């Protein structure tokens, strides 16, 4: 069996994500158009910019300085990664993180559902089971956030 090796940066940023990060799956129907949108979003927000820029350098994604300030007047920085491009990051996080691992596993399942149905024509929309599962994943992640 092949052993995966991870870098010190993988461990550092996974630890940062496990403590400060957020996994979200948004699932929305555009009623009237029949369109279904499911989006996976990873974020880490903090008032120290260097780790946020390090996440961008290491995993990709983007960064933004929020318009808000902390109570002490410090700016808030956010790293984010959205959609299917987050899959490699989630794979690393899944192997290392402990606290957010259940959310990460669900986000990977959502990405797999998105990838599986991405290239279907409009006539071959997702199955009712896939539609239900996407909604369930979003609800399960919200429920996990409420207890962690």
**Average confidence score pLDDT of the chain:** 89
Name the strand (E) or helix (H) holding 54.
Answer: helix 49-59
Kindly report, residue by residue over 56-101, the tens digit of the pLDDT. Answer: 999 999 999 999 899 999 999 999 999 999 999 999 999 999 999 9
* Own/partner long-range contacts of 116-120 (Cβ < 8 Å, ≥24 apart): 118/84
pLDDT band at 4 (very low <50, low <70, confident <90, very high): confident
Asked whether the predicted pLDDT for residue 117 surpasses 90, the reply is: no
Asked whether the predicted pLDDT for residue 30 surpasses 70, the reply is: no
pTM of the shown model: 0.88
pLDDT the model gives residue 38: 86
Burial readout 19-43 (b: 16 or more C-beta within 10 A, e: otherwise) = eebbbbbebeeeeeeeebebbbbbb
**d(Cα 35, Cα 27) in Å, to the nearest integer?**
11
Residues 6+ apart with CB under 8 A from 62: 56, 79, 80, 81
């Amino acid at each position: 069996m092949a052993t995966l090796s991870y870098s010190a940066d993988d461990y550092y940023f996974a630890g940062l994500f496990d403590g400060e990060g957020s996994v979200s799956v948004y699932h929305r129907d555009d009623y009237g158009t029949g369109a279904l949108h499911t989006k996976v979003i990873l974020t880490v927000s903090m008032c120290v910019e260097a780790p946020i820029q390090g996440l961008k350098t290491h995993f990709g994604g983007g960064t933004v300085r929020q318009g808000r300030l902390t109570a002490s007047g410090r700016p808030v920085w956010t790293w984010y990664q959205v959609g299917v491009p987050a899959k490699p990051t989630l794979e690393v996080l899944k192997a290392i993180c402990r606290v957010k691992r259940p959310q990460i596993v669900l986000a990977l399942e959502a990405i797999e559902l998105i990838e599986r149905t991405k290239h279907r024509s409009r006539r071959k929309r997702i199955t009712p089971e896939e539609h239900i599962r996407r909604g369930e994943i979003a609800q399960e992640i919200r429920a996990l956030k409420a207890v962690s």
